[in-house]
A and B are shown apart, each in its own frame.
Chain A
Amino acid sequence: AQSVAQPEDQVNVAEGNPLTVKCTYSVSGNPYLFWYVQYPNRGLQFLLKYITGDNLVKGSYGFEAEFNKSQTSFHLKKPSALVSDSALYFCAVRDMRTGFQKLVFGTGTRLLVSP
């Protein structure tokens, strides 16, 4: 089955420090991977995706993610965290078992950036 795991319920980082939010995946075949962010009282917003090509994917708001096939990981990173980055982050993988574009989401990681 297609799945993603987010091993950390919460990540705490000080403003200005680099941040990493972890995601590992389990798929059959080549993965289509996504990161979404949810701010309080808002819907999910698309950050970035990996389909193929360069293992380092750049996305919105200065975020990037590194695809690592050998470690089956797709960690979200940002060189310098902002307080406004505090939110809930979801990793997702496309369900390749069907032709339909279904996504399977992780359980989410709450990022708290302290001033």
Chain B
Amino acid sequence: DADVTQTPRNRITKTGKRIMLECSQTKGHDRMYWYRQDPGLGLRLIYYSFDVKDINKGEISDGYSVSRQAQAKFSLSLESAIPNQTALYFCATSSTDTQYFGPGTRLTVL
């Protein structure tokens, strides 16, 4: 969905490096989410946010942190990247039950 953008689209980094993935949306939604996708595991929720003052951990938040800088921006950080964080990361937004996804960031940690 072009209304949800993610940067960068691809990133290769080394173990121990700090990395930030950014998400922006123009849909005016208040709810935002970060997921990771791994083959055979589907999508798993990392963090979610109701608004700029509300941040919640998902099922796999260890090793990750987030920042909701504004209603339209939600960033995911890996403070010290490790190889098992290699995955496809998706941002999503919603105002009702339906979530709308960005194009994803493919992250490789060497």
Contact = CB atoms under 8 A, between A and B. Distances in A.
Interface string B73-102: 000000000000000001010101111111
Interface string A42-60: 1111100101000000000
Contact of A101 (B40, B41, B94, B101): B94
A105 interface: yes
Contacts, number: 55
B62 interface: no
Nearest to B59: A104
Contacts of B4: 43
B43 interface: yes
Contact of A107 (B31, B41, B45, B104): B41
A107 B40 contact: yes
B97 A100 contact: no
B61 to A, nearest CB: 13
Nearest to A4: B42
A9 B48 CA distance: 28
B101 A44 contact: yes
Contacts of B99: 46, 101, 103
Interface of A: 9, 32, 34, 36, 41-46, 49, 51, 90, 94, 100-103, 105-108
